Amino acid sequence: MSVKHTLLALLYQHPMHGYELGKQLNLAVNAEWDVKPGQIASTLNRLSSANLINFEIAEGDEAPDRKVYHLTAEGLAELQAWYLTPEVRDYRLGDIFYVKLVLSLIGGPVPPEQVLMTQRRELYRQLHKVTEMRRDATHRGELPWTLLLDSAIMHLEADLRWIEMCEVRLPDLKKYSPPKPEPKARGRPRKIAQDLVSSGDD
C-alpha cells in the first residue's frame, strides 16, 4: 500500500498532526497494515520536501508544540492523479509456489503430490482464519473491511480450486520436461579480419 498517498488522502479530510494521522490511518483503513510511527514521520518529511504538504506549528498549553499538516495545491493534484490511476493486481504469474511445483515435477526431493497437499493445507488454514475475521467484521457492521475480507476469501477459494485442478491433471503434469538449453559453441570464433583475408586469397 502507498503510505504517501494514504496520508495525502487523510489530510484532504482536514489538517492533522503526525500522531493523529497514525491513529486515523488504522481506524479508517482497518486492514492488516502495520505502519510504524517512524515511517509516518519520514513520509511526512518527504511530502513536505516535495511541497505536497505544508505545516503550521500549533501551540499547546499541556502538550508540546506540534506540526499540523495540510495539503498544498500540488498535493491535491497528486492525490487526484492517484485516485484516477487504475491498479493492476498481482495474479501470481510465476510466484514461488508455482516455481516450487514445477521443480518438483522435473525431479525434486519431495514429490509434487506432497507439495500440493502442503499448500492446500495452508490455504485451508488461511481460509478459516479470514472467514472468522469476516464473521466478526459483519457483527460490527464494518462494511469496507468486510469487502476486503470477501476479496481475500475469493482469492483463497480460487487458489484451492487451482490446487484441485493440478491434482486431477497430475499424471499429465508429471510428463512435463523442460526444453534443454542450446549447446554453447566451443573454441574461439573466427575474427572478421581473418575471414576477409581468406576471402581475398580465393
Q: Is a pLDDT exceeding 60 seen at residue 126?
A: yes
Tell me the sheet residues that pair with 71.
53
- Cell numbers given for 183: 549447446
Q: Are residues 26 and 60 in the same domain?
A: yes
Q: Are residues 130 and 63 in the same domain?
A: no
Q: Are residues 169 and 108 in the same domain?
A: yes
What's the domain count of the chain?
2
Least reliable range by pLDDT among 79-83, 101-105, 151-155, 178-182: 178-182
- 85 — pLDDT class (breaks 50, 70, 90): confident
Distance, in Å, from the CA atom of 35 to the CA atom of 18, rounded to the nearest integer, reads 12
pLDDT of residue 32: 65
Q: Are residues 127 and 161 in the same domain?
A: yes
Tens digit of pLDDT for each residue in 10-25? 999 999 999 899 888 8
Q: Which helix (H) or strand (E) holds 58?
A: strand 53-58
Question: In which domain, by residue range, is 51 found?
Answer: 3-83
91 in a structural domain: no
Q: Which helix (H) or strand (E) holds 56?
A: strand 53-58
90 in a structural domain: no
- 61 — pLDDT class (breaks 50, 70, 90): low
Tens digit of pLDDT for each residue in 92-123? 666 889 889 999 998 888 999 999 999 999 99
Cβ(132)–Cβ(106) below 8 Å: no
Average pLDDT taken over every residue of the chain: 85
CATH number for 24: 1.10.10.10
Q: Are residues 49 and 74 in the same domain?
A: yes
Distance, in Å, from the CA atom of 83 to the CA atom of 9, rounded to the nearest integer, reads 9
Strand-strand pairing, 53-58 and 66-71: antiparallel
DSSP secondary structure letters along 152-193: HHHHHHHHHHHHHHHHHTHHHHTT--PPPPPPPPPSPPPPHH
